[in-house]
Structure 1
Amino acid sequence: MLTEMDWSVSCGISLDGWRWQRPGDTIGLAANVGGLHGPQRRFLAAGGTGFILGDGRLNYAPGVVAETYYDAVLAPGLNAALDFQLIVNPGFNADRGPVPIATLRLRAAF
């Protein structure tokens, strides 16, 4: 989430793959809802800008991010992770988004 956030609520869960006979794998799900207090919302709605936020007149709505991932062990010291995020109201602006983001991460340790 953004550093220009006044409040947030987060939750998440991750499960180890031993449940499906893949003890090194991990699956996870997380969510965050965050927003701005009244003075900051009014400032941005009037056209003000912060160091990240502000692109005109803010149509305020809390920002929501949901994320899920699967991290798989491919070989000793080699992992691949698939990740999907959905960002709703990016920049706390109801006129923006939603933005889907998919990533693939490879990690090698030796």
Structure 2
Amino acid sequence: MFTEMDWSVSAGISVNGWSWERFADTVGLAFNLGGLHGPQRRFLAAGGSGFILGDGRLAYAPEAVFEAFYDARLAPGLHAAADLQLVVNPGFNADRGPVPVATLRLRAAF
């Protein structure tokens, strides 16, 4: 989640690469659904702003994030990961999104 929220529900799964003989690799899927309670929704709908939220009148909808990633071991202590996310109703605003987010990460541990 990329913003302040009052509640959330998350689930995910990750699997190592044993079945395709990439023993140090990991693939994963995740989902998160988050939202705001009534008083905060009404405040933002009336034009209020929070720590991150608030840019006018909020057309409220829960924010959902779907994620998939692959983490590959390139060498001992060196990993590269690709991550794809789809953010639906970003900032709890039904008038926005969905927004795709793609990232690459390189991690070195010595």
| Range of TM-score over shorter length | over 0.9
Q: Distance in 2 between matches of 1:94 and 1:85?
A: 18
Q: What amino acid is aligned across from residue 37 of structure 1 in structure 2?
A: H
Deviation >6 Å, runs of 4+: none
2:42 aligned residue: 42
Q: What amino acid is aligned across from residue 85 of structure 2 in structure 1?
A: Q
2:86 aligned residue: 86
Q: Distance in 2 between matches of 1:24 and 1:2?
A: 29
1:19 aligned residue: 19
Q: Distance in 1 between matches of 2:2 and 2:87?
A: 11
Q: Distance in 2 between matches of 1:39 and 1:81?
A: 40
Give the TM-score of the pair, scaled to structure 1: 0.96
Q: What amino acid is aligned across from residue 91 of structure 2 in structure 1?
A: G
Deviation of the 1:2 alpha carbon: 4.2
1:107 aligned residue: 107
Give the TM-score of the pair, scaled to structure 2: 0.96
Q: Distance in 2 between matches of 1:43 and 1:93?
A: 14
Q: What amino acid is aligned across from residue 92 of structure 2 in structure 1?
A: F
Q: What amino acid is aligned across from residue 21 of structure 2 in structure 1?
A: Q
Segments of structure 2 that go 5 or more residues without pairing to the other structure are: none
Segments of structure 1 that go 5 or more residues without pairing to the other structure are: none
| Aligned partners of 2:3 and 2:53 also within 8 Å | no
Q: Distance in 1 between matches of 2:86 and 2:59?
A: 19
Query: What is the correspondence of 1:42-61 to structure 2 with a 5 Å cutoff?
Result: 42-61=42-61
Q: Distance in 2 between matches of 1:108 and 1:47?
A: 45
RMSD: 0.9
Deviation of the 1:4 alpha carbon: 2.1
SS at match of 2:91: helix
